[in-house]
Amino acid sequence: MLEPGSLSGMRLGVYQHSSVAAELLVQVLRSLGASVVAVGKTGTFVPVDTEAVDAATIAKLKKWVREFGLDAIVSTDADADRPLIADENGDLLRGDLVGLATALFLKADTIVTPVTSNSGISKALGFAVQRTKVGSPFVIEAMEALHGAGGVIVGFEANGGVLLGSDCVVNGKTLTALPTRDSFLPILAVLSTMASTKKKLSRLRGLWNLPVCASDRLQNFPAESSRRLMDHLASRNALQHFLASFGTVAEIDETDGLRARMLSGEIIHLRPSGNAPELRCYSEASTESRAMAIVASTLQGAHAFALTDEIEDL
């Protein structure tokens, strides 16, 4: 996909942990001319959630970029279908931003992405954007429905997994459709964009200028507790009371969970996980600190509701 030597002059870190792609990722980047430093190899399984990276992992990334003078550090989750990318400061690129960068690299005509992805993507550079429920099966279904319309179709999730819904041409070579999550395509797309623009990754993040997002989760949160919370918040009055500290609810999207847009423009989205006993929260705000505070406060409120609900059942 990329020309030989296209990453020459770049110094990249590969966080290997227990990823099945640990060695292959190093080999591919070196074959493209990059100087590669492999870090963090483990002999035991490391659960890397690319949508909710823990503080300890972030601290490691920041340490490594300083220690080795890296332009970026890349990795994948354990089974290597989702990418993890951090800039020269060790700051993570959210998966939806990685997906947008991939769509720009491939000159996509249409983007298919879940409702949890950054709302700013709907306004970015004239793409047609179709929103789905969370999960690659929903993204794949929507891409297949669009296949006859023509053009380059790129699907991605907020966790960074990218799916190619149609053939496309890159550097004179045909990249065939791959309607399953892939981590190498988005990693190479981001690094190639850095190389061709000669801009640091932190600078590119600023140029793309999407709203600031944050996300986190309550683990070991029973599915029944999630159901009761969602049922309670289905009442607009209850939802407004629950989110009162953030202002007035202006719009509600129930595509997947409850996604509230406040009059301020801030977004607060609660969604029970579909495959684990977890409650996830996503937010958009004007600053990172504000977005993170919204997530923390909302999850704290959800936890308090669950405790109160349990007491009432006694």
Q: What is the DSSP string of 233-298?
A: HTSHHHHHHHTGGG--EEEEE-SSSEEEEETTS-EEEEEE-SSSS-EEEEEEESSHHHHHHHHHHH
- Give the separation between CA 256 and CA 69, rounded to whole angstroms: 41
- Predicted pLDDT of residue 123: 66
Give the CATH class of 97-179.
Answer: alpha beta
- Predicted pLDDT of residue 309: 66
Confidence bin at 75 (pLDDT 50/70/90): very high
CATH number, span 212-313:
3.30.310.50
Confidence bin at 207 (pLDDT 50/70/90): confident
> What is the percentage of the chain residues whose pLDDT exceeds 70?
97
> What is the percentage of the chain residues whose pLDDT exceeds 90?
80
* Domain positions in the chain: 11-92+193-208, 97-179, 212-313
User: Does 212-313 match 11-92+193-208 at the fold level?
Assistant: no
- Predicted pLDDT of residue 200: 95
Nearest to 109 by CA among 158, 143, 157: 143
Angle at 165 (CA atoms; ends 164, 169), nearest 5 degrees: 65
Confidence bin at 299 (pLDDT 50/70/90): very high
Cα–Cα distances (Å) from 308 to 44, 224, 248, 302, in that order, read 39, 14, 24, 10
Residue 283 has pLDDT above 70, yes or no: yes
Q: Report helix, strand or coil for 182.
A: strand
Residue 240 has pLDDT above 70, yes or no: yes
Per-residue pLDDT of 117-149, as tens digits, reads: 999 888 666 789 999 999 999 999 999 999 877
- Predicted pLDDT of residue 194: 96
Per-residue pLDDT of 80-131, as tens digits, reads: 999 999 999 999 999 999 999 999 999 999 999 999 999 988 866 678 999 9
- Give the separation between CA 286 and CA 289, rounded to whole angstroms: 9
- Predicted pLDDT of residue 274: 82
Cα–Cα distances (Å) from 211 to 57, 269, 283, 287, in that order, read 24, 15, 10, 8
User: For the residues 2-28, what does the mean pLDDT come to?
Assistant: 95
Q: Are 285 and 226 contacting, i.e. CB atoms less than 8 angstroms apart?
A: no
Helices (H) and strands (E) in the chain, counts: 9, 16
* CATH assignment of 11-92+193-208, among 3.40.120.10, 3.10.20.90, 3.40.50.300, 2.60.40.290: 3.40.120.10
- Predicted pLDDT of residue 314: 40
Which of these ranges, 120-134, 177-191, 235-249, 258-272, has the smallest mean pLDDT? Answer: 120-134
Confidence bin at 312 (pLDDT 50/70/90): low
Confidence bin at 198 (pLDDT 50/70/90): very high
Mention every residue, 6+ apart, whose C-beta is less than 8 A from residue 113: 96, 99, 121, 129, 130, 131, 132, 139, 155, 156, 157, 158
